[in-house]
Amino acid sequence: MNNTSNHYIQLDFIKVMATIMIIFHHYQQIFGVYFYNHVNYYFGLFDFGILVELFFLISGIVISKHEQSIQNSDHTFKKFFINRYLRLILPIMGSVIAYETISYYAGIMNVENWLFETGINPLGAVVASLGISAWGILDNPMINNPIWYVSVLFLCYLIFYLILKASRKLNCSAIYFYILIIVLGISTQLLSINIPLLNYSTSRGYIAFFFGVILSHRINKTSTPSLPEVITCIILIMLFIHSYIHYYNYIKPIILYLLVFILYPSLIRIIMATDFTLIKHSIWTKLNRYAYYVFVMHLPTLFALFVGINLNIIHYDITLRSNMFLFALISYIIGIIYYYIIYLITPKHDLS
């Protein structure tokens, strides 16, 4: 097990793969492309858009390593939250500028797509750039929409910090507070609550992120899953797949909970038990360092391709499956370049 200071390379592998699949998902969604006799990431049997829950889950697992230092006051609010917020928000600001620039020209040229807002939206750009688009304080401006995930992640980080401080002051386990937030998230969905800080988007983060924090206690305790645990996880995955294929209409109302509490944790544990050198190679840690930048820039890149094709500036056969893979590669290269541009501005940052 390649593990240094609670860093698991297998989680890097999962995040890189999930990022690529999100790119595939949006590619097919925006271009309306269906690949016969192949895996489809938008029109297929599984909705890959709900991989966001997997990102939240892993974020909760990863951030848990700061629990002790926050409770011991080694991490001040500025060191933990403010610095993290500033490091994450700068790449978002750049992606919003790119998105709005493309939107401006798309509006002039009358190029439209239901997922893109064309023309300049000053208020929306500010809301998105501040990372509060999903908070419910103002309407989600739909500017570079995937960054709603980061917006909710900010809230999760803030609540995580406050919980640890409160649990230390009250001299009780933080686990009870994590469970409370998960229950609050589920209640928000079941009761269709839609108020600031409590809405469908934030609830998705609350449920998955804080279950990830709870799950981390099991992972850190037994980093390499035992054989009985692996067998149990395999059985749970097989039951999920069977139910998804044959009884989807019945499990649809609870699909997010099955993913967060059963499928994704089972996949994570199985992959952590995998002894394949390829999965445990250090290359995944390096690629994961760029994954955040790829994520925040892939939609503006896709938007630019969409506009270029519609204006006959770019000749790109979107119906070829190989070209979808090529676009993912291009998106990753752009994300890497973007990482080093940001690195020149803030050389001390570390988002890996």
Q: Which residues fall within 8 angstroms of residue 254, CB to CB, at 6 or more apart?
A: none
What's residue 226's pLDDT?
86
Q: What is the residue-averaged pLDDT of the chain?
A: 90
Long-range contacts: 335-344, Cβ < 8 Å, 24+? 335/290, 335/291, 335/293, 335/294, 335/295, 335/297, 335/298, 336/290, 336/293, 336/294, 338/91, 338/94, 338/293, 338/297, 339/289, 339/290, 339/293, 341/94, 342/90, 342/91, 342/94, 342/293
The arithmetic mean of pLDDT across residues 264-273, rounded, is 93
* Residues 56, 60, 66: CA angle, nearest 5 degrees: 150
Res 1 pLDDT > 70 = no
Place of tokens 């080093």: 340
What's residue 349's pLDDT?
52
Per-residue model confidence as pLDDT tens digits over 148-197: 999 999 999 999 999 999 999 999 999 999 999 999 999 999 999 999 99
Q: Where are the domains of the chain?
A: 3-345
For the whole model, what pTM was predicted?
0.92
What's residue 116's pLDDT?
81
What's residue 71's pLDDT?
86
For the chain, the farthest-separated pair of C-alpha atoms sits apart, in whole angstroms, at: 65
Q: Indicate the pLDDT class of residue 347, thresholds 50, 70 and 90.
A: low
CA 213/CA 181 separation, integer angstroms: 12
Tell which wins on pLDDT, 207 or 121.
Answer: 207
Per-residue model confidence as pLDDT tens digits over 90-146: 999 999 999 999 999 998 988 887 778 788 888 889 999 999 999 988 777 778 888
